[in-house]
Structure 1
Amino acid sequence: MAHSYIGRFAPSPSGPLHFGSLLCAFASFLHARQHNGKWLVRIEDIDTPRIDSAMSKVILDSLHAHGLDWDEKVTYQSDRLDYYQSVLDKLSLQHDIYACACSRKQIKARSQFYDQHCRHLQLTFLDRAIRFKHDQTNNQFDDFILGSQNIEDGIANEDFVVKRADGIFAYHLVVVADDIEQQVSHILRGNDLLSMTPVHLSLFQAMQAHIPEYGHMPVVVQAPKQKLSKQHHSPAIDDSRALENIKLALCYLGIPIHKQANLTTVHSMVGWAIKNWHLEMLPKQTELLISITNGVYSMSDEPILNNNA
């Protein structure tokens, strides 16, 4: 019997957690606990060239230090290659995929988005990218945070890659395959992934699987349109400042805790948040600006950006 609510947090171990990742994990955790649900942690280490194997433990230690304790065993995508191949085999039997020999340069020279150039060439799969025949239209969907959505991004409609030419399974395939097997019911993630949702919905449909509910929250940025990331040299959260980090996260989730002076431990703060935070408190904007001084995160003087987005 499926659990009534199963949420998940799925970080990629390309670096340690920064504040934006912590904020998303915290919101997902709180939402799951408020619904008496399970909260799973999945390490998305499928893209091996970008992965630092030491970071998985660093990430898990950070979550634990901040009182975000998960249910069940942590799963690692690098351990699930046979499962992903079985999913790809199923799509192949359904004639939902095909091989593509186009380079990025060739695609860009022809069109802004992939133009189905190889769809009917019946190329062999060996050493070629594999694409999904994206014939479904899932641009319109309901988001449990943002409401009704209509994604006009052309990438949401193209035949997307499910396995790369270098043999690595693509993010779109593995994230949906994992959510299906783990029976995830609710996905709360950053709105930088909003445009990918139609792609994921189409894969759920192709696999005849139950579709989870999606909710997309604001992303934290260190400058407009510059989200926190390893690429932008965003500092790791300091686990020794866990209580201060949680207080700051609650402020960015829309619930200041200044009057709760009796909350002096991580677990008391997290317990208080479970009882007092509500999804409707999330800021409605797409980006939230944060200040970083000497590697320490703090509330920006003007944290809310893109008011008209």
Structure 2
Amino acid sequence: MDYRGRFAPSPTGQLHFGSLVAAVGSWLCARHAGGKWLLRMEDIDPPREVPGSANAILAALPAFGLVADEPVQLQSQRKAAYDDAFARLRRIGAVFPCWCSRSELAASGPHRDGRCASAPDPGREPAWRLHTPDIDIAFDDALQGPQRQNLRESAGDFVIRRVEGLYSYQLACVVDDAYQGITDVVRGCDLLDSTPRQIHLQRLLGLPTPRYLHLPLALDAQGRKLSKSTQDLPVDPADPLPALRGALGFLGQLVPADAADAPEVLAAALSRFDPTHMRQRSGCFVI
């Protein structure tokens, strides 16, 4: 299959430098492979969303020369697909209901035995968790190298559908990557630990597993991810070149000095793009 990559931000704020790094890195990899670059807005968690941020992110990206090859997909419009995947998991007995409260989980620790530790409560809705087997999930990350994780020890019986009926990132991401035909997932290292869970879900649902490349993570001076940092100021679409050149430099790419606008900067960077120059040792770098 031809290369199909994507950038999938969550609308929890305006576009910031860390997200721009992920967007530029995924765009460069897709264009370098002669493939398509798609956009998906992961707007399935209303309590965490900042009003107006989805539109702000989508409006900002073209200012940095980042234009998707297909219409933007909104996860908020994909509930029927997640319902179907959840029903399939129930049919094969891969999930179980859980009435444990947060305080009970804090006292007992993560679920690892495939059953709820609390008595069923017919008066309230349960969360639904995946039965997590005692298996190792291994994959080769194109930048971070060979990875291996014991699913039960690292993830436990993780939530698929929350008490309020909202689906987890893990399930929605897997369903939508398959729906959009994504062959290559390029994203930040903060999601490296999620990949084994997603591979396991892909196998359970009979979905293809894409190739993975996890980019270095931009941190502030205190070692915090920029999206969680008090210094996390949004990038400026009205003056995109400083942040765009900063993102390219962060990814170890040659930064053209004479390009006049964002499309020219990206075109020049693409002509010299070398994936091996992207930093990879620890996966995190202070800017």
User: TM tier, shorter chain?
Assistant: over 0.9
The 1:138–1:209 alpha-carbon spacing in structure 2 relative to 1, beyond 3 Å, is: farther
Unpaired runs of 5+ in structure 1? Answer: 291-309
Q: Secondary structure at the match of 2:194?
A: helix
* Distance of 1:153 and 1:223 partners within structure 2: 32
| Of 254, 260, 269, the match for 1:264 | 260
TM-score calculated relative to the size of structure 2: 0.92
Whichever residue aligns with residue 115 of structure 1, its letter is R
Q: Counterpart in 1 of 2:132? A: 134
What SS does the aligned partner of 1:239 have?
A: coil
Structure ranking higher on relative contact order (CA contacts 8 Å, 6+ apart): 2
Counterpart pick for 1:115 among 109, 112, 116: 112
Once the two structures are superposed, residues 119-149 of structure 1 have per-residue CA deviations (whole angstroms, 9 ceiling, x without a partner) of 5999589611001112262432211111111
Give the corresponding residue for 1:18: 16
Deviation (angstroms), 1:210: 1.0
Does the C-alpha gap of structure 1 residues 58 and 83 become closer, same or farther in structure 2, counting only changes over 3 Å?
A: same
CA contact (8 A) 1:156 1:196 kept: no
Matched to 1:118, the amino acid is R
Match of 1:279 in 2: 275
Specify whether residues 104 and 183 from structure 1 end up closer, same or farther in structure 2 by C-alpha distance, changes over 3 A only: same
Match of 1:253 in 2: 251
Q: Is the 8 A contact 1:139 1:198 kept in 2?
A: yes
Q: Distance in 2 between matches of 1:7 and 1:123?
A: 42
For residues 41 and 153 of structure 1, do their structure 2 counterparts lie closer, same or farther at Cα, with a shift above 3 Å needed?
same
- Aligned position for 2:6: 8
Q: 1:154, CA displacement in angstroms? A: 6.2
SS in structure 2 opposite 1:211? coil
**Alignment equivalent of 1:35, drawn from 28, 33, 52:** 33
TM-score, normalisation: structure 1: 0.86
Q: 2:114 touches 2:157 (CA, 8 Å); kept in 1?
A: no
**2:25 match: secondary structure:** helix
Letter in 1 for 2:267: G
How far off is 1:155 after superposition? Answer: 6.0
Contact 1:139 1:156 in 2 (8 A): no
Change (3 A) 1:171 1:261: closer
Name 2:98's counterpart in structure 1. 100
CA contact (8 A) 1:153 1:195 kept: no
SS, match of residue 45 in structure 1: coil
Identify which of 237, 250, 274 aligns with 1:239: 237
Contact 1:253 1:281 in 2 (8 A): yes
Between 1:82-91 and 1:131-140, the stretch displaced more is 131-140
Question: Does the Cα contact within 8 Å between 2:135 and 2:151 map onto a contact in 1?
Answer: no
Q: Is the 8 A contact 1:87 1:177 kept in 2?
A: yes
CA-CA distance at 1:85 after TM superposition: 0.4
Q: Distance in 2 between matches of 1:158 and 1:240?
A: 45
The Cα RMSD (Å) is 2.1
Where do 5+ consecutive residues of structure 2 fail to align? Answer: none
How many residues were matched structurally? 285
The offset of 1:222, in angstroms, is 1.0
Q: Could you tell me how far apart the structure 1 residues matched to 2:100 and 2:114 are?
A: 8
- Aligned residues with identical type, % of pairs: 33
Within 5 Å, which residues of 2 pair with 1:1-309? 3-111=1-109, 113-116=110-113, 118=115, 127-135=125-133, 137-151=135-149, 156-230=154-228, 232-257=230-255, 260-284=256-280, 285-290=282-287
